[in-house]
A = this chain, B = another copy of it.
Amino acid sequence: MRPKEIKNSLQEKGLKITPQRIVILEAIHRLENHPTAESIIGYIKKAHPNIATGTVYKILNVLVENDLIKRVTTERDIMRYDAVLENHHHLYDKKSDAIRDYFDGELDKLLMSYFEKKKIPNFRIEDIVLEIKGRFKKQ
């Protein structure tokens, strides 16, 4: 994602374009493996030591509320963030805390047709994300 696109995405949501927001969005796009607030702060402070921790948290909440980033579901009590907005799934390593993205359009179609036939009573599905848990093999 280029700087121009980041600025546009903020503007489209009616958010002011500030250096802090740009830097945080860039960091989440750059950092692999669904960073925590802590790792985003660590990464950013190298280049921008004056940015405040509280500001990072506030901005992360604003970005989530405006659908510019997503929170990743985990079993832990720490929040992690994802810059990928297209529909995708997550691979969770059972031993390490690694989480990787998994894209599979064929699977998405399969699920869509499955749930078109089989409705869940009293529930309107908007979105399905698979938590695929297992182990990464050393390559």
Q: Which residues of A contact B (CB under 8 A)?
A: 71-79, 91, 94, 102, 104, 106-107, 110, 114, 118, 120, 122-137, 139
Beyond A114-B110, A120-B132, A132-B120, whether A126 also contacts B94 by CB under 8 A is yes
Contact of A123 among B76, B114, B134 (CB under 8 A): B134
Cα separation A23 to B102 with both chains bound (whole Å): 40
Q: What's the least CB distance linking A83 to chain B, in Å?
A: 15
Query: Is there an interface contact between B133 and A127, defined as CB atoms closer than 8 Å?
Result: yes
- Given A94-B126, A102-B120, the answer on whether A73 and B137 have CB atoms closer than 8 Å is no
Taking CB atoms, residues of chain B closer than 8 Å to A114 are: 107, 110
